[in-house]
Amino acid sequence: MRLFAPTVFLALLAATVPATVVLAHGPTPQKVDQSVTIAAKPEAVWKVVGTFAAIDTWHPDVAKSEAVDGNAAGGRRKVTLKNGGTLDEGLDEMNDKTFTYSYRLSDADLKALPVSSYSATLTVTPDGAGSKVEWLGRFYRGDTGNEPPEDLSDAAGKTAMNAYFANGLRGLKAKVEGGKAK
Q: Which segment (29-37, 39-47, 51-59, 78-86) binds another protein by CB under 8 A?
A: 29-37
Q: Measured between alpha carbons, how far is 170 from 131 in angstroms, rounded to an integer?
A: 14
> 172: closest CA among 73, 83, 72, 62?
62
Interface with another protein, residue 182, by CB under 8 A:
no
> 118: closest CA among 134, 135, 141?
141
| Touching another protein, residues 130-169 (CB under 8 A) | 136, 138, 144-146
- Binding mask 58-97 toward another protein (x if CB under 8 A, else -) reads ---------------x------------------xx----
- Binding mask 103-122 toward another protein (x if CB under 8 A, else -) reads -x--------------x-x-
Smallest distance from the beta carbon of 5 to another protein, in angstroms? 26
Strands 86-95 and 62-68: unpaired
Question: Between 26 and 171, whose beta carbon lies closer to another protein?
Answer: 26
Strands 115-127 and 30-38: unpaired
Question: Between 88 and 92, whose beta carbon lies closer to another protein?
Answer: 92
Strands, DSSP E only, in the chain?
30-38, 62-68, 76-81, 86-95, 100-105, 115-127, 130-141
Question: Between 61 and 154, whose beta carbon lies closer to another protein?
Answer: 154
Neighbours of 107 (CB within 10 A): 13
Residue ranges that bind another protein, judged by CB under 8 A? 24-29, 31, 33, 73, 92-93, 102, 104, 119, 121, 136, 138, 144-146
